[in-house]
Structure 1
Amino acid sequence: MTVGRGVTLLAGSFVLISILLAWLVHPWWIFLAVFVGLNLVQSSFTGFCPAANILRAVGLRGEV
């Protein structure tokens, strides 16, 4: 798995988990999805993605 696909998997998972938690636990869990979305937007402008750095540190390979 590449870093780009790992970031996509991680972001999608966090969004789905936050929606589930907002539905089952408390509506304020939706702010986790908002945080993920804002992080994706800022990384598209700046090129800096903390999740990508973490995934590289754990051993995922870079883009081919």
Structure 2
Amino acid sequence: MTINRAVMALAGFMVLLSVLLTWFVSPYWVWLTVFVGANLFQSAFTGFCPAALIFSKLGLKAA
């Protein structure tokens, strides 16, 4: 798995998790979705993604 695919998988998982937590636990969990979306948006323009740095340190290869 490449870093790009791992980042997309993590973002998708976090969005689904936050939807479930919002539905079953508290509406405030929607802020997790906002955070994930904002992070994806800023990384599209700046190229900086904390998750990509973590995945690279874990040994995943760039595309």
Which residue of 1 is the match for residue 3 of structure 2? 3
User: Secondary structure of the residue that 2:38 maps to in structure 1?
Assistant: helix
Structure 2: runs of 5+ lacking an equivalent: none
For 1:51, give the aligned amino acid.
A
- Structure 2 CA distance for aligned equivalents of residues 29 and 57 of structure 1: 29
- Structure 2 CA distance for aligned equivalents of residues 29 and 59 of structure 1: 31
Matched residue count = 63
Which residue of 2 is the match for residue 60 of structure 1? 60
Which residue of 2 is the match for residue 42 of structure 1? 42
Which residue of 2 is the match for residue 12 of structure 1? 12
TM-score (norm. length: structure 1): 0.96
Cα root mean square deviation, aligned? 0.4
- Moved segments of 4+, more than 2 Å: none
- Structure 2 CA distance for aligned equivalents of residues 61 and 15 of structure 1: 24
- Structure 2 CA distance for aligned equivalents of residues 41 and 62 of structure 1: 20
Q: What percent identity do the matched residue pairs reach?
A: 57
